[in-house]
Copies of this chain bind each other. A is one copy, B any other.
Amino acid sequence: MAVDMHEVRNYFIQLQESICARLEAFEPTMRFLREDIETPGGGLSRPRVIAGGEVIEKAAVQFTHSIGAALPPSATERNPHLAGRPFQAAAISLIVHPLNPYVPTTHMNLRYFVVDGVDGTWYFGGGFDLTPFYANRQDIVHWHRTAAAAAGEHYPAMKAACDDYFYLPHRQEPRGVGGVFFDDWTTGGDAASFALVQRIGDAFLPAYVPIVERRKDQPYRERERNWQCYRRGRYAEFNLAIDRGTRYGLQSGRRIESVLASLPPVVTWEYQRAIPHGSPEAALMDALTPRDWLANAD
């Protein structure tokens, strides 16, 4: 039996509120631009975007409840029998691009799909992942420890799925240091699935906020800023060329400014940029190789 859409919707909206409130607490004056847009047929879009802050250069925390006449192809690649069916989808999706290069970029997405008229066809998907510009073992271990506590027995599989998904094949490079990722999730039935999704959603702030607190005032110079803007190019490449969520957004006719609010505020592309051997930038590249961050953590 599917989880009631209103329950999921309410949870996602409440989570969006608490995440926006906590991120805003980092900012002395900047506030999220808040909009509530009702879409034809009972859908709702609640874009929340902040830019130009002292800690957050740009962040988008979006909620969408879509009611659609026909699932687009990109949403049904692995479930082709569902193509063209009417559906409902609720999703919270966020990205944070911090100003300080020592604070990692992060992304979270939680979503719930119900396909109307197909008995028992519903699933959850989502996860969160971390994309540092400099590798701090303490931060990465904390991130994975919090993720593991939330995902419980599912952590190893979700961690592997995250490493698998956030990968740029054309660069042969992971996007970041991972986290958890799941899709087509119905494990244990409706109540257990929704409870797991809530544990993961509730774990986002405890996973991310301590890292921001620890790094946001760390001094940096042009070199680190430059590296950050360069590495953000990988983020743009992933989102525009690879990410299923973005491709779905581009095809779905959703409000394009919401779909692409995830793109970094400033990006540079540099040809054949060299990474000096033994540098902190080289250490990041090394840290991107997937590993068990909780083994011998301390």
Interface residues of A in 241-289 (CB under 8 A from B): 241, 246-247, 250, 256-257, 259-261, 263-272
A positions within 8 Å CB-CB of B? 33, 49, 51, 58, 60, 169-171, 229, 233, 236-237, 240-241, 246-247, 250, 256-257, 259-261, 263-272
**Residues in chain B near residue A266, CB distance under 8 A:** 229, 266-268
Task: State A272–B269 Cα separation when bound (angstroms).
Answer: 23
Task: State A58–B272 Cα separation when bound (angstroms).
Answer: 13
Contact (Cβ within 8 A) A240 B250: no
- A-B contacts, 7 of them at CB < 8 A, read A169-B250, A170-B256, A229-B266, A233-B263, A236-B240, A241-B241, A265-B269
User: Nearest CB to that of A240 among chain B residues?
Assistant: B240
Contact (Cβ within 8 A) A270 B259: no
Known A170-B250, A170-B256: A267·B267 in contact at CB below 8 Å: yes
Task: State A240–B269 Cα separation when bound (angstroms).
Answer: 13
Task: State A229–B263 Cα separation when bound (angstroms).
Answer: 14
Taking the nearest CB of chain B, how far is it from the CB of A124, in angstroms? Answer: 26
Task: State A228–B123 Cα separation when bound (angstroms).
Answer: 43
**Residues in chain B near residue A265, CB distance under 8 A:** 268-270
